[in-house]
């Protein structure tokens, strides 16, 4: 099996790297805060820079917060690109700009290496359980080479299209998730304001056409007032910024996405950056002057 590298060992990257190592992958890693002891004790080689990871690995996985972070890892001082050559594959699993991704892929290929964009859905729970959904853009040959590694981290792995297609798919995922959270929030808030038990409404709706994973999980968060993340609002804001900026570049109107972003912005203004994204409902509650579960006078 080819040697792999992993850059970015945060909430998502750490368990993803751990799952590669559990499956016997020879792994080199770098993160700015230092490779955690539990990984080095499991046999992961700690490196001093992204360049060192790229030097030691055939496949370099990246999982960092945003587009500038990926650019820095790839093309900054002691970046991955300085050690790329033919036969190596860069796999960016971050959620970043689809437009920038296409540029990054072209620049990596100029070095003779290949590039896949492979953002994920499933959150920390999915990362730990190796059950992530992985949406991939790039060549069939590169996808086939990396697929055994993807299968160690996820259960639903799909090649969507050429470079940038994985990021477009992830942006589409986040648009749907945000709009569905907003719809669930409106529905449960309406029920509660009308004096009906919102949790009983949620359970009843789970048996009908309105049923969804978001109604099941995030609807329960709303009725139980459980807004610890989960997936933080500030991260979903980043993803919707990507959706809206990409839409602007393509001349596409996303009115409901813009509304969801405005609601997230309102949450942030009330100190909600670190709330779970189901906490969007709090902005709706503010507008209604009513909290789900609140007794009507």
Q: Is the dihedral of CA 258, 231, 76, 102 positive or negative?
A: negative
Whether 170 is catalytic: yes
Q: Give the CA diameter of the chain.
A: 71
Residue 138 burial (CB < 10 Å; 0-12/13-18/19+)?
A: buried
Which of 170, 200, 238, 297 is catalytic? The answer is: 170
The CA–CA distances, whole Å, from 286 to 110, 135, 189, 240, 269 equal 52, 36, 11, 22, 12
| Measured distance CA(70)–CA(276) in Å, rounded | 25
Q: What angle do CA 290, 222, 121 make, to 5 degrees?
A: 140
| Measured distance CA(173)–CA(31) in Å, rounded | 27
Cβ-based neighbour number of residue 270 at 10 Å: 12
Catalytic residue numbers read 170
């Amino acid at each position: 099996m080819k040697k792999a590298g992993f850059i970015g060992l945060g909430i998502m990257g750490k368990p993803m790297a751990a799952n590669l190592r559990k499956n016997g992958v020879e792994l080199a890693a770098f993160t700015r805060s230092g490779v955690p002891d539990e990984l080095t004790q499991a046999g992961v080689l700690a490196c001093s820079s992204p360049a060192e990871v790229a030097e030691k690995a055939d496949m370099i996985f990246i999982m960092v917060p945003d587009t500038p972070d990926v650019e820095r890892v790839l093309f900054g001082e002691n970046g991955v690109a300085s050690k790329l050559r033919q036969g190596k594959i860069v796999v960016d699993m971050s959620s970043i700009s689809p437009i920038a991704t296409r540029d990054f892929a072209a620049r990596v290929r100029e070095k003779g290496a290949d590039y896949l964009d492979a953002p994920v859905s499933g959150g920390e729970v999915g990362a730990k359980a190796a059950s992530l959904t992985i949406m991939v853009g790039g060549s069939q040959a590169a996808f086939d080479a990396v697929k055994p590694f993807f299968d160690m981290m996820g259960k639903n792995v799909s090649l969507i299209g050429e470079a940038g297609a994985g990021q477009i798919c992830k942006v589409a995922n986040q648009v749907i998730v945000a709009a569905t959270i907003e719809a669930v929030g409106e529905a449960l808030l309406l029920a509660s304001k009308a004096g009906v038990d919102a949790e009983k409404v949620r359970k009843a709706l789970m048996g009908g056409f309105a049923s969804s994973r978001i109604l099941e999980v995030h609807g329960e968060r709303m009725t139980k007032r459980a807004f610890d993340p989960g997936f933080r609002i500030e991260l979903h804001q980043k993803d919707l910024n990507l959706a809206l900026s990409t839409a602007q570049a393509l001349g596409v109107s996303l009115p409901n996405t813009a509304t969801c972003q405005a609601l997230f912005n309102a949450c942030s203004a009330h100190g909600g950056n670190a709330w779970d994204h189901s906490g969007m409902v709090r902005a709706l509650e503010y507008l209604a002057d009513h909290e789900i579960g609140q007794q009507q006078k």
